[in-house]
Amino acid sequence: MVSHPEMPLPALEPFRLDPLFVTRVWGSNDLRPWYDCLAESSPIGEVWLTGDECLIATGPHRGRKLGELFRLAPLSLLGASAPSSESPLLIKVIFAREKLSVQVHPDDRTARSHGQPRGKTECWYVLAAEPGARVALGLKPGLSLPRIREEIRAGTLESSLNLLPVDPGDLVYVEAGAVHAIWPGSILLEIQQNSDLTYRLYDYGRPRELHVDRSLQALNLSARSGKIPAQPLADRTLLVDSPYFRVERLPVSGSRSSSVLSTPASTGQPPTAPGLAYLFAASGSARIAGPAFEPVELPAHSIAAIPAATPLFTIHDLGGLDLIRISPNWPPPEVS
């Protein structure tokens, strides 16, 4: 636990985060109109929204790195029921101008066997997609590990990938151990465990390191991955509820109180203590306002952290708001 559950939570107001632009060989030099970013040399492939190095943009902790705030105020950020004081989720926007490597992420157990703190289960929420856009997820039936190794050597592994068409609003779940690759044609909101651990199986001849042995060790041919059907609930749409994260679309008709933002009892789940959540404006803009803090503007494609100990607030739709709520789940010890 982060701290003793009977201790009072010191208040911590909502705050917006500045995006961190991360170069990738497969990325784009121009992220407009999504972000006002023109890369002069190395292309930008990922926009990190909640990385430990992301800077806090509003409020009393403005200018501080998010990872530092987790070290200073884990109880206020995460709540008393969190089993760890570390930042649980890494949220990105992916801009692929070229194909990403064919890759696999380890699960927690495999990652820890290599001295890493955690594995990487993730999901992709499709923000935009061109007609015919696809991602690669999983391998065709009947492949054995020796055959996979042979196809890597021969440079033919791509032909054994399952291809999945994607459209705006789709949610694709990628469990640790699933072979996958993001292809050009879509812009994805990626929600994952707070890990950047990737093992490359195949990289189209790029001069980057492959991790074939570790990839095959991490690979799980029966990983539960694919599109998740959206589940309409009384006051929101559930996109995915995994052992590590929950993602929802929240309608905001004019305004909505923070008292009804958390998971409703109508889901059939037991009541939980307040915890961290993030609000992402997939489109449109919003304002987060409350009597105890200065209003926080939430422009399109930006994200705000809602700490467990946030004072009461109201979120106001400033026009065209499509609001995504992302919150961490805590897997039971046997999953970890």
Residues whose CB falls within 8 Å of the CB of residue 159, separated by 6 or more in sequence, listed in order: 151
- Residue 27, sorted as left (phi over 0), alpha (psi -120 to 50) or beta, turns out to be beta
> How many CB atoms neighbour CB 163 within 10 A?
12
Cβ(161)–Cβ(139) below 8 Å: yes
Distance set, CA 39 to CA 44, 127, 179, 181, 301 (Å): 7, 22, 30, 24, 18
Distance set, CA 213 to CA 109, 138, 229 (Å): 16, 18, 34
Distance of alpha carbon 299 from alpha carbon 304, whole angstroms: 10
For the annotated catalytic residues, the residue numbers are 200
Q: Cα 237 to the chain's mean position, in Å?
A: 17
Q: Vertex 244, ends 243 and 247: CA angle to 5°?
A: 100
- Residue 188, sorted as left (phi over 0), alpha (psi -120 to 50) or beta, turns out to be beta
Cβ(307)–Cβ(76) below 8 Å: yes
Distance of alpha carbon 91 from alpha carbon 325, whole angstroms: 12
Distance of alpha carbon 255 from alpha carbon 298, whole angstroms: 14
Q: List the structure tokens of 90.
A: 């890494």
